[in-house]
Amino acid sequence: MITNKARNMMRELQIAFITSPMIRRWMRILTIIEQEETFTTITLADKLAISQRTLVKDIHLIKEHFGDSVAIYSNNTGFRFAEIDRLMYQEKKEELLDQDALYEILERIFYGDFADLD
């Protein structure tokens, strides 16, 4: 059985192999907000070592990409993240990675799904 810590380490390693800097940043943002659910732009920007301006822009684009599958809204303590439609959310995440061959290869290796990628 894979522990959460091992799963998170595997996810971070996979993210490191994403070739698009924007998609890599989005996936790191999503990984953090999925776990923490409530966050501030200051704290999250610091964790990601990016500017708050970049983070706010990314959050806007993430909301646009994921549409009704997620809710990201602000409250008194910062922002809150919630999955509304888990299946659609997972499909939208996979869409982000569809064109990234290196990520696809690494994912198949991690999950023991050896197949011809042609």
CB 73 within 8 Å of CB 62: no
What class is the 4-110 domain? mainly alpha
Closest CA to 37 of 90, 91, 101, 80: 80
What's the pLDDT tens digit per position in 65-106? 999 999 998 888 889 999 999 999 999 988 887 766 666 666
pLDDT > 90 fraction of the chain, expressed in percent and rounded: 46
